[in-house]
Amino acid sequence: MTTPTKPSAPAFPNSQSKHGISQTFSKLLGPLALLGPAGLWLLLILVLPTLVIFQLSLVENIRPGDLVNPDGIGNYLRVFDLINLKVIWRSIYFATGTTILCLLLGFPVAYWIALMSPKRWRNLLLLGFVLPLWTSSLLRSYAWITILRPTGVLNSIIGIIGLPPLEVLNRTPAVLIGMSYSYLPYIVTILYASLEKLDRRLLEASADLGATPIQTFWKVTVPQSLPGIAAGSLLVFISSLGDFVDPELLGGASSMTAARLIYNQFLGATQNWGFGSALSMVMILGVSIAIALLLKFGDGKPSK
């Protein structure tokens, strides 16, 4: 005689699977809660204004109070007019020249502070080099006007030596000098951070193998510090590309840049917000490409 089997209990979801789902949800909720305020702030001050600028860039000859009715890409085509391309090229020229000057001047300084100066003085030396950033950029530009003007400090010293005076102010050299002075601390601090992590055993091994100091510099030091060079150069280029104060005060009327052209479209006599917005979007695109390069090549990992 067979005994009746007990009915099997109904299947319930596994408690472990519930626990795993709750853990996954909590892992997602935690970062979202932390990033939510910053993301909202970024949306309000960056994303939405950029979208507004993009919408205005599609309206030709719009002025304050006009109805926003996007009707084409005429403003973007105007950006590529010859006169506007010259202004953009001048901005790129100033930014490139400033980057090269900052790299040539900043690398020896960062190298000396990181590798040759007494260790107890390094932080103080670095602080002294960053100290000019504590003052206003406008004040620094007026200081250079005092130095470079025809009756300024530079020509006074040159006159004492007996040399003819230099016409520097309101010319390209004055702009490059002022911009290089403004952005030199940025590249020095980045290069210092890169050179401080340099593997000195490689320098010693290079010397033991008979390499000259110049060969060691080009084949060991420079490859090891390439990420810092890339990061510092791109940071200076991005910052100087949108500089408004130094070209305006030190370069005079002949140093029209993209930043000044955008200012004229919004706050000047022309009042063409559509073209100013289109030019702004082109600049934003260029800076975004530079930032992408900075994130790719300026990660701080020494090259092998």
The confidence score (pLDDT) of residue 14 equals: 53
pTM here is 0.80
- Averaged pLDDT, 224-246: 88
The DSSP letter of residue 134 is G
Backbone angles phi, psi at 189, to 5 degrees: -65, -40
Q: Is 302 in contact with 202 (CB distance < 8 Å)?
A: no
Closest by Cα among 191, 236, 231, 194 to 99: 236
Domain architecture of the chain: domains with CATH? 99-253 (1.10.3720.10)
Backbone angles phi, psi at 9, to 5 degrees: -70, 145
Average pLDDT in the chain: 82
Given a cut of 70, is residue 225 above it in pLDDT?
A: yes
The DSSP letter of residue 251 is S
The confidence score (pLDDT) of residue 199 equals: 78
The confidence band for 1, taking pLDDT boundaries of 50, 70 and 90, is very low
- Averaged pLDDT, 91-113: 92
Q: What is the C-alpha separation between 274 and 72, in angstroms, rounded?
A: 11
For residue range 18-31, list pLDDT tens digits in order: 555 666 666 666 67
For residue range 246-286, list pLDDT tens digits in order: 898 898 777 888 888 888 888 877 778 888 889 999 988 88
Q: Is 81 in contact with 261 (CB distance < 8 Å)?
A: no
Given a cut of 50, is residue 300 above it in pLDDT?
A: no
Q: Is 242 in contact with 280 (CB distance < 8 Å)?
A: no
Given a cut of 70, is residue 299 above it in pLDDT?
A: no
Closest by Cα among 51, 46, 79 to 261: 79
- What 3-state DSSP class applies to 210? coil
The confidence band for 302, taking pLDDT boundaries of 50, 70 and 90, is very low
User: Residue 251 contacts by C-beta under 8 Å, 6 or more apart in sequence?
Assistant: 170, 171, 172, 174, 175
- Averaged pLDDT, 230-258: 87
State the residue for tokens 């300024």: 152
